Structure 1
Amino acid sequence: MKIKCLIVDDEPLARQLLQNHIAQMDMLEVVGQCSNAIKAAEMLRTTAVDLLFLDIKMPQITGIDFLKTLKNPPCVIFTTAYREYALEGYELDVLDYLLKPITFDRFFKAIERYYVRMSPRETVVRPAAVPEESIFIKTGTRFHKLNAAEVLYIESIKDYIVVHRQGKEKLSAKYKIGDLEEDLKDKGFLRIHRSFIVNLNKITAFSAQDVEIGAVQLPVGNSYKEYVFKVLKVS
């Protein structure tokens, strides 16, 4: 089945460029074009849409404000000439952020991300084999020795990390998650988000959007998706 695309942009030339890019890929189909968010809202109520190409700076309602109103939005790719909205787009979990003028090469990569995200969730049958090792976390002047096998995942909260452990209390410490990532990269741990590092042996299910550790569901950050999915697919 073809991927049904809706283009929302107040610039006719920008809409035409996207239409031309889409026409070069057999698996994509344009089901509509809108010059503003109000018309887009009407179309989304009556038309099935898989992928929304959404401009940010538009009259009446911005693309960001429009996306926030949607309860069950399709996958969204922001299209804009302004870099400063990238962080907010990340927080809204959009699929990609394309800067105008959009080249076909960059457009193609965004479509590849769509396929990665829409891949079905897979159950981890054989987690990566990792030898049990110890890690040390410094709190104040003390070093705490942790068995890597008991760590479920590590969460970053501002300047602190929280180590979530199996059957034990959480351990908090003032630590930069980036420094810890470097220490753990050869011990069977994987950075999946700017705020989360997970123990590969504890993952019970995953998709391109999130990772499950038992009943806990952790998001996969947009900038980590391709690498995370590649690692987990071969684990």
Structure 2
Amino acid sequence: MKVKCLIVDDEPLARKLLQNHIEQLDMLEIAGQCSNAVKASEILRAMPIDLVFLDIKMPQITGIDFLKMLKNPPAVIFTTAYREYALEGYELDIIDYLLKPVTFDRFFKAVERYFVRSAPKETGVKIVAPQQQDDYIYIRTGNKFHRLPVADILYIESIRDYIVVHRTNQEKLPAKYKIGDLEEDLKGKQFLRIHRSFIVNMQKITAFTMQDVEIDKLQLPVGNSYREYVFKMLKS
């Protein structure tokens, strides 16, 4: 399911730029756009919105005041030409604070923060209902987010600044991630870091020792600094 986005900005060029950015990501769709808070309020009452790109300096009602008025606001990313409102924005628990003109790279990082913050509810990495057969995560490659069922993932291998997702009866999926960042996103789920180069799906482990874990006939080493923790986790 795509993330429904609302663009609220009184500058047509700024709305157009955000529209172009959103259209480059398959996981996002534009549900609406408008130039002021009054119209935005009407849109929010009329349809479900997941993520709002909200300008701060607007006529009649500022983006900050508008957000304060909402009882159950969707996720918000502020877009503005003014740095001085950043602290107040973060105090309102926004996802991110983008300075205009918004570059695609900075926009993309903000969207990734949304995916992480929204897990497990809506989609970086996204985890949905751990331990269920239809669990899945999202892995980004370039501008695409790949939806990977957890049941298909055997293990994740780190090769320098890249990871490779090894899957059951499917092609390997390489992606530019640091394994430490990925480990943090997966912490507390059914994945276990066993080595500086490997994270395994615990549901796929068929045997283990203090030195290695087995996934069917495949053996993966357990790093010296991980052994005590890995052995404890797998025996529990």
TM-score bin (small chain): 0.5 to 0.7
Secondary structure at 1:32 match in 2: strand
1:99 and 2:102 aligned: no
Give the secondary structure class of the aligned counterpart of 1:25. coil
Change (3 A) 1:82 1:228: farther
TM-score normalized by the length of structure 1: 0.53
Secondary structure class of the residue paired with 1:102: coil
CA distance in 2, matches of 1:36, 1:101: 19
Partner of 2:47: 47
1:60 and 1:2, CA in 2 relative to 1: closer, same or farther beyond 3 A? same
Q: What's the CA shift for 1:120?
A: 2.0
What amino acid maps onto 1:119 in structure 2? A
1:14 is matched with: 14
For 1:66, what is the secondary structure of its paired residue?
A: helix
Shift of 1:68: 0.3
User: 2:117 corresponds to which residue?
Assistant: 117
Task: Give per-residue Cα distances to partners, 1:22-71, cap 9 Å, x unaligned.
Answer: 01011110011110000000110001100000000000000000000001
Letter of the 2:103 counterpart: T
Q: Indicate conservation of the 8 Å contact 2:116/2:185, yes or no.
A: no
Three-state SS of the structure 2 residue aligned to 1:76 is strand
Q: Which residue of 1 aligns with 2:65?
A: 65
Q: Hey, what's the Cα distance between the residues in 2 that align with 1:79 and 1:4?
A: 17
Tell me the distance in 2 between the aligned counterparts of 1:44 and 1:118.
Answer: 19
Q: Percent identity?
A: 72
**Distance in 1 of aligned mates of 2:22 and 2:92:** 24
Aligned twin of 1:84: 84
User: Alignment length, in residue pairs?
Assistant: 135
Deviation at 1:119, TM superposition (A): 1.0
Gaps in structure 1 of 5+ consecutive residues: 125-225
1:89–1:228 distance in 2 versus 1, CA, 3 Å: farther
Structure 1 residue matching 2:31: 3-state secondary structure: strand
> Secondary structure of 1:72's partner?
coil
SS at match of 1:71: coil
| Displacement after TM superposition at 1:82 (Å) | 0.4
Task: Please give the alpha-carbon distance, in whole angstroms, between the structure 1 residues aligned to 2:67 and 2:74.
Answer: 10
The residue type equivalent to 1:68 in the other structure is K
Distance 1:10 1:80 in 2: 11
Higher relative contact order (CA 8 A, sep 6+): 1
Give matches, 1:174-193, under 5 Å: none
CA deviations on 1:122-170 (whole Å, 9 max, x unpaired) are 999xxxxxxxxxxxxxxxxxxxxxxxxxxxxxxxxxxxxxxxxxxxxxx
Q: Residue 6 of structure 2 contacts residue 32 of structure 2 at CA under 8 Å; is this kept in 1?
A: yes
5+ residue gaps, structure 2: 122-126, 131-180, 194-236
- After superposition, the Cα gap between the structure-2 partners of 1:4 and 1:20, relative to the gap in structure 1 and judged at 3 Å, is same
Q: Deviations over 1:82-129 (max 9, x none)?
A: 0000000110000000000000000010111011011128999xxxxx
- Is the alpha carbon distance of 1:84 and 1:48 closer, same or farther for their aligned partners in structure 2, counting shifts above 3 Å? same
Separation in structure 2 between the aligned mates of residue 117 and residue 10 of structure 1, nearest angstrom:
27
In the superposition, the TM-score normalised over structure 2's length comes to 0.53
Q: Using the alignment, how far apart are the partners of 1:42 and 1:119 within structure 2?
A: 27
Counterpart-to-counterpart distance in 2, 1:82 and 1:49: 25
Cα RMSD over matched residues?
Answer: 2.4
